[in-house]
Amino acid sequence: MSATQATSAEQDTRTLTVLVYSDNVDTRTQVRMAVGRRPAADVPRVEWLECATPAAVVEALDAGRADLVILDGEASPLGGMGLCRQLKSEIFRCPPILVLTGRPQDSWLAAWSLADNAVSHPLDPAGVAEAVAELARSLQA
């Protein structure tokens, strides 16, 4: 078996657990549909963990159940940017976080939140998938 085939076989067995947080089920669905089962050929297959409350997110991350996190900046009662800043400050070895902002002009808020990447609404499926793939690649490095 060549190195390329071994790498391909390895990627087929590994999975990437992605936690998506939003109080809006439609937003969670949009994210899952945009990323799909594999955001890029060179990253592992995605398994989804959906959370509708900030407490569920904290519990999942405390338990180490997510490799990558996507937070809805427009979620209520606690937006993803505030939650991101909290997680980055409180969770030891916090996984990479992608924040969904309300508009492109909110990128400064995403930077304040300590997010590793940001994508704005309306969600472009290719942009969301690429952002997730980029963060997944950072885990492999």
- Contact (CB, 8 A) for 112 and 86: no
What is the per-residue pLDDT across 7-17, written as a single tens digit (0 to 9) for each? 555 546 889 99
C-alpha of 67 from chain center: 8
What is the per-residue pLDDT across 17-74, written as a single tens digit (0 to 9) for each? 999 999 999 999 999 999 999 999 999 999 999 999 999 999 999 999 999 999 999 9
- Contact (CB, 8 A) for 71 and 99: yes
Confidence of residue 4 (pLDDT cuts 50, 70, 90): very low
What is the per-residue pLDDT across 72-109, written as a single tens digit (0 to 9) for each? 999 999 999 999 999 999 999 999 999 999 998 998 99
Query: Residue 13: its pLDDT value, please?
Result: 80
Which residue segments constitute the domains of the chain, with CATH numbers given?
A: 3-140 (3.40.50.2300)
Query: Residue 9: its pLDDT value, please?
Result: 52
